[in-house]
């Protein structure tokens, strides 16, 4: 149920973008994120930190984009969130935080050595930086429609590839 609810904003964004325009899609995704938060709260479903961060950024950049009539603000959201995730993982590598953030998301990683966790965190941090750079290149140099397609399909394919790579990396790594 939770995964279905979390997919509602992106589904609505897609429908409203292709049926109407970017402004309407931004309003739809922002409003649906707020609605999904409310539903999670009412049903007492667990809300993870990444969802909170992502939804708050979607809502805030969505509101700014609509109020300032500048969709570029909304297009920068993926860059901001990717750089934020990369920064968190890089801080983990430098042991700024007490525990690895990646373990919070993937608890099974506790079975692996500190070195493997650090390497995987580095790989993901670099991946998030790459995604931020790709987002900037695409939204600044190509059509809005291509950017939307990249966000809906391209990033999903990149994420899938990165997850497969991570699984292979861990599979070929000895635990402890």
pLDDT value at position 38?
92
Distance CA 105, CA 140 (A): 32
Tell me the Ramachandran region of residue 44: left when phi exceeds 0, alpha when psi lies from -120 to 50, beta otherwise.
Answer: left
What integer best gives the mean pLDDT of the chain? 88
Residues 146-159, mean pLDDT to the nearest whole number: 94
At how many degrees (to 10) do helices 2-19 and 22-43 cross? 160
Task: List CB contacts of 148: < 8 A, sequence separation 6 or more.
Answer: 14, 17, 22
Whether pLDDT at 112 is above 70? yes
Whether pLDDT at 140 is above 80? yes
Distance CA 170, CA 112 (A): 8
Distance CA 68, CA 125 (A): 32
Helix/strand/coil for 102:
helix
32-81 confidence digits (pLDDT tens)? 999 999 999 999 888 877 788 889 999 999 999 999 999 999 999 999 99
More confident residue, 116 or 96: 116
Whether pLDDT at 103 is above 80? no
Distance CA 67, CA 150 (A): 25
pLDDT confidence of 104, banded at 50, 70, 90?
A: low
Distance CA 40, CA 66 (A): 26
**Token output for 35:** 């609605």
């Amino acid at each position: 149920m939770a995964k279905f609810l979390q997919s509602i904003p992106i589904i609505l964004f897609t429908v409203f973008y292709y049926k109407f325009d970017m402004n309407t899609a931004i309003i739809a995704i922002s409003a649906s994120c707020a609605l999904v938060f409310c539903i999670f709260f009412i049903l007492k479903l667990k809300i993870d930190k990444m969802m909170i961060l992502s939804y708050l950024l979607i809502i805030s950049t969505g509101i700014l984009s609509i109020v300032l009539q500048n969709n570029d603000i909304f297009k920068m959201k993926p860059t901001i969130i990717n750089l934020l995730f990369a920064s968190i993982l890089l801080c983990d590598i430098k042991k700024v935080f007490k525990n690895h953030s990646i373990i919070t998301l993937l608890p099974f990683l506790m079975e692996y050595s500190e070195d493997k966790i650090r390497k995987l965190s580095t790989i993901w941090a670099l991946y998030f930086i790459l995604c931020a750079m790709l987002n900037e290149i695409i939204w600044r140099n190509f059509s809005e429609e291509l950017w939307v397609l990249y966000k809906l399909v391209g990033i999903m394919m990149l994420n899938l590839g990165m997850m497969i790579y991570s699984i292979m990396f861990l599979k070929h790594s000895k635990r402890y």
